[in-house]
Chain A
Amino acid sequence: MTGQLLLQTVLSGLLVGLVYALVAVGLTIIFGVMDIVNFAHGEFLMVGMYASFWGFALWKLDPLFTLPLTALALFALGAAVYRLVIRRITDAPMLSQIFTTFGLMILARGLAQYLWKPDFRSVDRTIVAGKVAFAGLQFGLPQVVAAGGAVATTGAVWWFLRSTRLGAALEATAADKEAAALMGIDAQKMFALAWGIGAGCAGVAGALLSTYYPIFPEVGANFILMAFVLVALGGFGSVTGAFWAGILVGVVEVVGGFLWDPAYKLVLVLALYLLVVWLRPQGLLGKA
């Protein structure tokens, strides 16, 4: 085992982990603000990927050029889903909430299959095609760009929550719905905003992934499990927690799979998760 090979796998894990993190950030914001687990989150990612694909297939637009549009469209979709569906179950029992978002997931997959066929699609020419090689290490350029984009988006969301009035209002609603409402914050608006940002993050992740990952109606399922692990591992509702958990999980998955056996890579990730919630039930950066 050479050090170089190990470094290569660690960095590969980092790249994939940063994308996981972006998917999880959207999920954790929705959960943090509303206490609702969105099972349809992977489907936002799927729609983001298809949006990028159709932009490419119909108008030859690169997923990276259409990325801002994809983000906006998914923001609108997320807010619309809140207005039309989720708003009605805000105070419903948890079981109803689970069934609702689960139903949304199945509906979205079914619709995608009906409208766009179950075929595997892909964006076969993109401006980021190619490789990055240095010091004997090499990575796919799409993965590097996706990781970079994920960091930038996660950073932007973090900055928004930290440094803007709107972000502060969102955090306040997350902390205490009633108290925030007494301070004159419109909870309905904040909830819609959370869903918009959550779906937007998944959309950006979808656009970034579409440059190298195949696109099909069930693609969300491949990523959503990791996103759930990240949200719980990093601490429910914590953006920075999801970010660090993403890096940790990505590296453990890739390096563990390489050193041990790829068949057990998910076992390692879930063992790590169990260990953390056992020792620290609130997650790495969650508040007790």
Chain B
Amino acid sequence: MKASRLALLATALGLVAPAAAQEIVLGVIYPLTGPAASTGIELKNAAQLAADLINGTDRSVGLPLAGAGGIPGLKGAKLKLVFADHQGNPQVGASEAERLITQEKVAALQGAYFSSVTATASQTAERYGVPFLNADSSSVALTNRGFKWFFRTTPHDELFAQNAFQFLKDLEKKKGVKVKRIAIFAENTEFGTGAAKLQEKYAKENGYEIVGKVLYPPKGTQLTSEVQKLKASNPDIVMQSSYLGDAILSMKTYKDLGFLPTGLLANDAGFNDSEFLKTMGKDGDYVISREVWALDLAAQKPVVARANALLQARHGVNFNGNSARAFTGIFALADAINRAGSTRPEDIRKALRATDIPGDQLIMPWSGIQFDETGQNRKGAGIIVQVQGGKYVTVWPFTLASKDVVWPLPAFEKR
């Protein structure tokens, strides 16, 4: 009598999941309207494709759980994604997270692309005790909050900074290229100064010498003094963080003033814009930049090509760094729910904590997914790409490279 009353109470409080769930509801929060809507829709499509693959019976893509006809650990229960639009607004993100949790009764949340929105939405999830999986925000601070319910599969900015130095070390080992003197060149707002700080830290740790650090105000009329300063510091390589306009202007100034380091390592942003490649033409060749993902990974990972073919067939677009990460996020959640064999948030959280997905079961260039105590995936990694013939190709990690890295930078006149 007493026991059954307790059970009744527990059910009423939502502590016990209803038996034999037919559907597992996941809340997915992305910017579906507003200035980042085009990215948001891509993310949504990729997440839906992942869920449909898991619910379907086609195993040909070759990812675990894909084609399982639902979650095996829950008797084939299907994944149901409920999408919410945060409009790029942190407040909307938090209230949508609350709505998904209290009204849609989601088992877990995924989102939110913008670091600022991820911060608020995951705070709501933390308050309600619902797992929040972040697949695509790179601000380091997100995993430094001591949250219990927050998990991030993507590498963050600090890992990307470390990657650049691993690349330099590998370059020395494999090609005998010795780099010693590094100049940092960055715009002086949040993005550039943050990157410069990390680069300085890791340069010191790895025994490189910072011979120059030039921070410039963005959107200037000229970068002549900056480039002269770089030139005078006589570096082996330049590590640069610039948005598009300054990236173009700086490359032109390099050429005009005859400045040519042996390598130019860019920090994404302006350098990875298609407009940069178009404008610079041959002068943009051999720039090296960090990336989170590239389609030519398919050369070493056939699963990338197969997944991409599915997205192509459905939406007529290729995967990119954002959509590939959203796709992977749903698989990571499904993997945890499958092992948990339950839709209770606490069970899912425990299963997420024990996640260990090997790299060959991912379309990402990572060595796997395994969360550390902060919820950060410790096996994530970026890739390094180089412009070759007007296109970005993967050159590092060497095991995933589709082309050999060209080093040193050939003179502008000899291209």
Contact = CB atoms under 8 A, between A and B. Distances in A.
A8 B279 contact: no
Contact of A257 (B226, B255, B275): B226
Given A131-B256, A263-B216, A16 B226 contact: no
Given A262-B215, A263-B216, A214 B225 contact: no
Interface string A19-38: 01000000000000000000
Q: Size class of A's contact patch?
A: 35 or more
A120 B248 contact: yes
B215 A120 contact: no
B244 interface: yes
B228 interface: yes
B227 to A, nearest CB: 9
B18 interface: no
Interface string B234-259: 00000000001100110011011110
B207 interface: no
Contacts of A120: 244-245, 248, 273, 275, 279
Interface stretch (A74-82, A183-191, A215-223): A215-223
Nearest to A144: B256
A17 to B, nearest CB: 10
Interface of B: 188, 214-217, 219-226, 228-229, 232, 244-245, 248-249, 252-253, 255-258, 273, 275, 278-279, 281
Interface in A135-151: 138-140, 143
13 contacts: A12-B225, A12-B257, A16-B221, A16-B224, A120-B245, A120-B279, A140-B252, A214-B244, A214-B245, A254-B225, A261-B215, A262-B226, A265-B217
B221 A143 contact: no
Contact of A214 (B188, B222, B226, B249): B249
Nearest to A250: B222
A124 interface: yes
Contact of B257 (A13, A138, A216, A256): A138
A213 interface: yes
B225 A253 contact: yes
Interface in A235-257: 253-257
Contact of A139 (B245, B256, B273): B256
Nearest to B281: A124
A133 B401 CA distance: 39
B228 A5 contact: yes
B228 A124 contact: no
A262 B229 contact: yes
Interface in A92-141: 119-122, 124, 131, 133, 138-140
A8 B225 contact: no
B248 A122 contact: yes
A9 B214 CA distance: 16
A55 to B, nearest CB: 17
B216 A262 contact: yes
Contacts of B255: 131, 140
A44 interface: no
Nearest to B214: A262
A223 B219 CA distance: 10
Given A121-B279, A262-B217, 16 more contacts: A5-B228, A12-B224, A20-B221, A139-B256, A213-B249, A214-B245, A223-B221, A226-B221, A257-B225, A257-B229, A261-B215, A262-B216, A262-B225, A262-B229, A263-B215, A266-B217
A158 interface: no
A256 B229 CA distance: 11
Given A256-B225, A258-B229, A262-B226, A216 B219 contact: no
A39 interface: no
A212 interface: yes
A12 B188 contact: no
B256 A138 contact: yes
A222 B220 contact: yes
A5 B373 CA distance: 53
The 5 residue pairs across chains A and B that have the minimum distance between CB atoms: A257-B225, A140-B256, A258-B225, A12-B224, A122-B279
A9 B253 CA distance: 13
A228 to B, nearest CB: 13
A17 B104 CA distance: 62
A12 B228 contact: yes
Nearest to B232: A5
A215 to B, nearest CB: 10
Interface in A1-19: 5, 8-9, 12-13, 16
Given A222-B219, A262-B215, A263-B188, A119 B275 contact: yes
Contacts of A133: 258
A16 B257 CA distance: 14
A226 B219 CA distance: 13
Contacts of A262: 214-217, 223, 225-226, 229
Given A131-B256, A139-B256, A262-B215, A214 B228 contact: no
Contact of A222 (B221, B258, B281): B221
B217 A263 contact: yes
Contact of A258 (B215, B228, B278): B228
A153 B269 CA distance: 38
B224 A13 contact: yes
Nearest to B187: A263
Contacts of A253: 222, 225
Nearest to B188: A263
Given A140-B252, A255-B225, A221 B275 contact: no
Nearest to B413: A131
Contacts of B245: 120, 214, 216
Contacts of A5: 228, 232
Contacts of B232: 5
A222 B249 CA distance: 13
Contacts of B220: 222, 265-266
A118 to B, nearest CB: 10
Contacts of A256: 225
Question: A139, A143, A263 — which one has the most chain B CB atoms within 10 A of its CB?
Answer: A263
A34 B217 CA distance: 34
Contact of A265 (B225, B257, B258): B225
A261 B228 CA distance: 11
B219, B245, B249, most chain A CB atoms within 10 A: B245
